[in-house]
A and B are shown apart, each in its own frame.
Chain A
Amino acid sequence: MVFSSHIFLFYFLPLTLLLYYAVPVRGRNVVLTLVSYVFYGWANPLFVLLMLLSTLLDFVCGLLLVSGLPRDPDGGLPLLNSPVRSLRQKLALCCSLAGNLGLLGFFKYWNFGVEVLQETSNQLGWSWFETGEVLQVVLPLGISFYTFQSMSYCIDVYRGEARAIRSVWDFACFVAMFPQLVAGPILRFHDVSVQLQQRVHSLERMTRGICCFSLGLAKKVLIADGLSLPVDFVFAADAPSMSAAWLGAVAWAFQIYFDFSGYSDMAMGLGWMLGFDFCANFDSPYRAAGLADFWRRWHMSLSGWLRDYLYIPLGGNRRGGWRTSWNLLLVMLLGGLWHGAAWTYIVWGGLHGVLLLLERLLRGSRKSQQPDSAASGGLRRLLLTAGTFGLVCLTWVPFRADSLRQAGLLLSAMLGFGRQDGSTVIVDAVVRQPWHVGMLCVGAVIVWLAPQQSRQFVSRLSGGRVVVCVALLWLSLLQLTLQEQQPFIYFMF
């Protein structure tokens, strides 16, 4: 089910809120879990079984990690304080990792693996199997998100950063919670473990949640969806002009930002409505001055997850320059692959890895130079921000393109080497439609001039802000009926 769909907004959400607040506090996790299964199973009921499998696996592994240890005085399960782990605990963690990564690997990367194998064998002149002979796997929605989330539970318990959970309902609620189930923010267990058992429900939180949800819905429906047409057009075009290619790439940069940050705002808003407080996922990413800065602001929950559970365990930047470079590159490549099983994502991750390394080198050499004056510092930051945005747009091209060939075609057009023919003017005409240009301008104004952090915007609510939010909500609802339903971009990851 999509947040910006008729059925979610007008049927699922009001009924869920009604049900949630109608039951006593101790039953609310059960209600939330059950409605989350309905939410998730709506697209494909069978996928719920997969989620149940992942949930039960980690719940049992979590219990195994603390089994045999004395309980805390308050009756809760103990925190693993000692630095030594027994063989059983290590096995339990391995079991959780293998199970979750196995599920993710099979459902997300099987088809890609087969395809690569097939292409390789074809190029070598061998014919191992024909298309259609091999199993084709359907990708379950949001599997990358909930497996990471579920896995973080066992890792946190193993590391002694969180207590294991006793109630299977509470744990199922953590994994399945519908507001952030399909596209994050990726919750880390130690961030929400307390909220699962005790959280604040108040009119104030509800108000904040409503405003944040409305802002997110407006981002998605009024801006991101409005940009999808020129983006689709340019990324399918065979001979776009340089200006159309850049407009298409910038439109995509805005579309994915407003789509994903819109989703995250809606998730955060729904969380507040249900008493939770989720972490923010974006912090004005296109105002970043440098790629490292960009990654501190873009999809923060994934960056944080990869940093804490992959980069730092690999040694981070503590083991010398070469090892740091390797760790960075590996994390970015895996981050790219996490997004999707295709060469385009790997290239995207690889590009970011290489650019981050270059940036590290450049920054290292600049440290020895004199600091800038305030004026030149301001100009430098402006140039850095513009340069970073340009680079990010270039790297978004392989991310969005359907194939490496298409990516190459668009990149060469952006750099002025593209082929042009009679269809070029049609691409130009579509991209430069007043409506599309208007959407781009609105996007640009919001990205660079308006407040970006919805969390901050709704933290100090005034009458004017509430009116803006409610008006945006109603406008978005009307707009929804004028367009085809478009799922969130990150749903496919």
Chain B
Amino acid sequence: MNTATEQQSRLSVWEAPRLCTWLALSGFFLAIAGVPVLQLICDWRDGGPAGVGVPQVLGIRDALAIVPELYRDSEGTIVERALLVNQELQSGLQDYEAGLGEFTWLRHPARPLQHMLSLAFRRGSEQVLEGPGGWLFLMSELQSLTAGPIREFAGRRDPGTGRAVADVVRDPLPAIVQFQRLLRQQGVTLLLVPIPAKAAVHVTSLTAEAAGAGERADERVVELLRELAERGVWVVDLLPELQRAGDPESWYCRSDTHLNGDGIGRLAEVLAAELVGRGLCEPRAGVPLSVESREVELTGDLARMLDPKTDRRELVRLDFVTDPQTGAAPPGAAAAAIFPQPPILLLGDSHVLVYDADDLHAVGAGLPQQLARHLDTAIETLGVRGSGGTGARLQLLQMPDRLSSLRVVVWCFAARELTESAEGWPVVNETIGQDGR
């Protein structure tokens, strides 16, 4: 092919200094062979990426070793067994490949590059967008704000409008309405409070253009909340409540996906007002809890997503609540263990756990404690790290004994969950709560 070009090329290469050839060869082979050899040395020295004494690259044996065993042990026709083996082998190879990429030493020299790009161009990553002034935003949350109407994607195949794998579980409305009905059958009132997206609350932290827009960025959530309210679900739209309360510096942490101390405090106030307003609770009348404001230094989850070894720190002012009689914080998750039947359950995702769990920046300054400041009752927490929509809901439905003693379930989860939940919004089997399974 292209004989003339070939001859010309060959000639030109002969003319090129031999140094070029050796430069290219050494640069290339140093990269493609040097990286794995050094990786092997590091793995031998460190006892493998998982500390099991085997370099990651030799882990291929594990992926392949299952094949004969799996074929022998599985049931069905030859084709069915072969398909099963193929499926397992495929996932084994994918895991193996992912492991090789994850534990490479090359990540260390790449960190300064990431840091430089971040400083110069606010590069961010696939998961995190860097706004001006050190504000970080979760990409999937931004996508949930800009994709199509929440309920429209139900039954459609636009992958851009929902992450749930199966079409039938993309629409959150039937699942929420069913949950409310199941709770009502047990005499429990449901209060639904989707936590508005950080970018919807702080649009100006993302773009200066938004200042004069005067429109809400989360109109799709508002639309869904309106539909839910029409079907009798008690919902609180938190965004206007945050905006009505004046403007502290911010309601959200800059480098974290969660509300900051002010935000959690405001959320507690709103919830307390709703619960008292409906006559479901009494305002706190007894000895007030003592509150101590302290600044806490934290590294936000978004900053860690951007760089696991980041030294980015953020100061957040938190209100630590203590009972002057016991000297302890009002118990959140442990409330049921102390009080026989706390009437209020905070259900949801990490928004109900933040500042009240060892791995979530602080203990004793979370939503349960702030809510306890306003209400004269014990508050229990059932929060999951993950899906506050489906995971937490299913967990509660599997606790029929607990359900029977509750008065109110306050369900708080990130509003992005409405579209971005990978497991979607399955309607549950209605016998699920009846026999405790």
Residues of A whose CB lies within 8 Å of any CB of B are 5-7, 9-11, 13-14, 42-46, 191-192, 195, 203-204, 206-208, 210-211, 213-214, 229, 232-233, 235-240, 277, 279, 402-403, 405-406, 421-430, 432-435, 438, 455, 459-463, 465-467, 469-470, 473-474, 477-485
Shortest distance from the beta carbon of A112 to any chain B beta carbon, whole Å: 12
Q: B23's contact among A6, A213, A229, A470, by CB below 8 Å, is which? A: A470
Contact A203 B25 (CB under 8 A): yes
Chain B residue contacts of A466, Cβ below 8 A: 20, 23-24, 27
What separation, in Å, do the CA atoms of A479 and B146 have in the docked complex? 28
19 contacts between A and B (CB under 8 A): A42-B97, A44-B90, A210-B25, A235-B160, A238-B148, A277-B2, A421-B215, A422-B213, A429-B210, A432-B207, A435-B117, A435-B124, A460-B12, A463-B20, A465-B20, A466-B27, A470-B23, A477-B35, A481-B101
Cα separation A423 to B148 with both chains bound (whole Å): 10
Given A236-B161, A237-B147, do A478 and B113 touch, yes or no (CB 8 Å)? Answer: yes
CA distance A258 to B187 in the complex (A): 60
Chain B residues, Cβ within 8 Å of A204: 10, 13-14, 21
Given the complex, which residues of B lie within 8 Å of A435, measured CB to CB?
117, 121-124
A479's partner among B12, B28, B97, B113 (CB-CB below 8 A) is: B113
Q: Apart from A429-B131, A433-B124, what 9 extra A-B contacts exist at CB < 8 Å?
A: A204-B13, A406-B160, A421-B219, A429-B207, A433-B121, A433-B122, A461-B13, A467-B23, A481-B107
B156 contact set on A, CB distance < 8 A: 403
Q: A461-B13, A478-B109 are in contact. Are A483 and B126 (CB under 8 A)?
A: yes
A153, B352: Cα distance in complex, Å:
65
B123 contacts A10, CB within 8 Å? Answer: no
What chain A residues lie within 8 Å of B146 (beta carbons)? 233, 236-240, 423, 426-427, 430
Cβ distance A276 to chain B, nearest Cβ, rounded Å:
9
Give the residues in chain B near A484, CB-CB below 8 Å. 126
| Cα A470 to Cα B20 with chains together (Å) | 11
A402–B89 Cα gap in the complex (Å)? 31
A43 to B87 CA separation, bound complex (whole angstroms):
10
Chain B residues contacting A208 (CB-CB under 8 Å) are 9, 13
Q: Let me know if B65 is at the binding interface, CB within 8 A.
A: no
Across the interface, do B210 and A425 meet the contact criterion of CB distance under 8 Å? Answer: yes
B149 at the interface (CB under 8 A from A): yes
Tell me the nearest residue of chain A to B96, going by C-beta: A7
Residues of chain A within 8 A (CB-CB) of B23 are 463, 466-467, 470
Closest CB pairs A-B (n = 10): A236-B160, A470-B27, A422-B215, A429-B207, A204-B13, A6-B101, A459-B9, A435-B121, A422-B217, A238-B148
Contacting A426 at CB < 8 Å: which of B2, B106, B145?
A: B145
Cβ–Cβ contact A6 & B110, under 8 A: no
B358 interface residue, CB < 8 Å from A? no
Given A204-B14, A422-B218 in contact, is the A210-B28 Cβ separation under 8 Å? yes
Chain B residues with CB below 8 A from A203, complex form? 21, 25
Given A236-B147, A425-B210, A214:B28 Cβ within 8 A: yes
Q: Is the CB of A238 within 8 A of B101?
A: no
Q: Is the CB of A482 within 8 A of B114?
A: yes
B374-423 CB contacts (< 8 Å) to partner A: none
**B196 CB to nearest chain A CB (Å):** 12
Q: Which residues of B contact A470 (CB under 8 A)?
A: 23-24, 27-28
Please, how many angstroms separate the alpha-carbon atoms of A425 and B216 in the complex? 10
Of B19, B90, B131, the most chain A CB neighbours within 10 A belong to: B90
Instruction: Tell me the bound Cα distance from A279 to B1 in angstroms.
Output: 8
Q: Does B24 lie within 8 Å of A469, measured CB to CB? A: yes
Pick from A13, A195, A232, A421: contact of B32, CB below 8 A: A13
With a cutoff of 8 Å between Cβ atoms, the chain A residues found around residue B125 in the complex are 482-483
Q: Is B209 on the interface with A (CB-CB < 8 A)? A: yes
- Across the interface, which residues of A come within 8 angstroms of B215, CB to CB? 421-422
Q: Closest residue to A277 on the B side, CB-wise?
A: B1
CB 8 Å contact bits of B116-154 with A (1 = contact, 0 = none) = 010001111110011100000001001101111100000
Within 8 Å by CB of A5, from B9, B97, B217, lies B97
B313 within 8 A of A: no
CA distance A386 to B6 in the complex (A): 34
Q: Is B158 an interface residue (CB 8 A)?
A: yes
Most B Cβ at <10 Å: residue of A42, A214, A429, A466: A429
Which residue among B6, B31, B57 has the maximum number of chain A CB atoms within 10 Å of its CB? B31
> What residues on B are CB-neighbors of A469 within 8 Å?
24
> Quick one: closest A residue to B17, CB to CB?
A463
Assembled-state Cα–Cα distance A402/B220 (Å): 20
Contact assessment for B217 and A426 in the assembled complex, using a CB-CB cutoff below 8 Å: yes
Given A233-B143, A403-B156, A459-B9, is A14 in contact with B36 using a C-beta cutoff of 8 Å? yes
User: Do B1 and A191 touch across chains, with their CB atoms under 8 A apart?
Assistant: yes
The listed residue (A11, A207, A479) touching B24 by CB distance below 8 A is A207
- B14, B24, B90, B131 pick with most chain A CB within 10 angstroms: B24
* CB proximity of A264 to chain B, nearest CB, Å: 15
Q: In this complex, which of A229, A435, A438, A484 has the most chain B Cβ atoms within 10 angstroms of its Cβ?
A: A435
Q: With a CB–CB cut-off of 8 A, which chain A residues contact B2?
A: 277
Are B123 and A481 interface neighbours, CB within 8 A?
no
Q: Let me know if A434 and B122 touch, CB within 8 A.
A: yes
| B90 and A45 contacting across the interface, CB-CB below 8 Å | yes
Chain A residues with CB under 8 Å of B218's CB are 422-423
B20 contacts A207, CB within 8 Å? yes
Complex partner residue of B104 from A422, A461, A481, CB under 8 angstroms = A481
Q: Given contacts A9-B32, A237-B146, A459-B9, are A207 and B104 in contact (CB under 8 A)?
A: no
Judged by a CB distance under 8 angstroms, whether B276 is at the interface is: no
Q: Which residues of A contact B203 (CB under 8 A)?
A: 422, 425-426
Residues of chain B within 8 A of A455, CB atoms compared: 5
**Does B275 sit within 8 A of A, measured CB to CB?**
no
Evaluate contact between A277 and B13: CB separation under 8 angstroms. no
* A265 smallest CB distance to B (angstroms): 14
Residue of B nearest to A465 (CB): B20
Contact with A along B32-55 (1 / 0, CB 8 A): 110110010000000000000000
Query: A423, A428, A465 — which one has the most chain B CB atoms within 10 A of its CB?
Result: A423
Say whether B16 faces chain A, with CB atoms less than 8 Å apart: yes
**A6 x B29 contact (CB < 8 A):** no
Interface assignment of B157: CB less than 8 Å from any CB of chain A: yes
Q: Return chain A residues, CB-CB under 8 Å to B157.
A: 402-403
CB distance from A185 to the nearest CB of B (A): 11
| CA gap between A402 and B153 in the complex, in Å | 12
CB distance from B153 to the nearest CB of A (A): 10
How far, in angstroms, from A312 to B303 measured CA to CA in the complex?
Answer: 58
- Report Cα–Cα, A233/B142, bound state, in Å: 9
Query: How far is it, in angstroms, between the C-alpha of A480 and the C-alpha of B213 when the chains are bound?
Result: 38
Contact across chains for A426 and B199 when beta carbons are under 8 A apart: yes
Interface string of B82-119 (1 = CB under 8 A from A): 11001001100100010011001011011001100100
Q: How far apart sit A15 and B31, CA to CA, in the bound complex (Å)?
A: 13
Chain A residues lying within 8 Å of B20, measured Cβ to Cβ, are 207, 461-463, 465-466
> How many angstroms from the CA of A432 to the CA of B129 in the assembled complex?
12
Inter-chain CA distance A433–B10, complex, in Å, is: 45
Q: Which B residues between 290 and 318 are near A, CB-CB below 8 angstroms? A: none
Complex Cα distance, B147 from A235, in Å, reads 9
CB distance from A275 to the nearest CB of B (A): 12
Judge whether A402 and B158 touch: CB under 8 Å: yes
Q: In the docked arrangement, what's the CA distance between A485 and B161, Å?
A: 22
Q: In the complex the two chains form, is A459's CB within 8 Å of B12's CB?
A: yes
Given the interface pairs A44-B90, A463-B23, the reply to whether A10 lies near B35 with Cβ below 8 Å is yes
- Chain A CB within 8 A of B178 CB: no
Q: Is B243 an interface residue (CB 8 A)?
A: no
Out of B12, B21, B32, B90, which one reaches A14, CB within 8 Å?
A: B32
The residues of A that contact B14 with a CB separation of less than 8 Å are: 204
- Cα–Cα, bound, A438→B207 (Å): 17
Nearest-neighbor residue (CB-CB) of B167 within chain A: A131
Considering the chains assembled together, what is the distance between the CA atoms of A238 and B121 in angstroms?
A: 27
Q: A235-B160, A402-B157, A435-B122 are in contact. Are A473 and B148 (CB under 8 A)?
A: no
Minimum Cβ distance to chain B for residue A172 (Å): 21
Contact A438 B145 (CB under 8 A): no
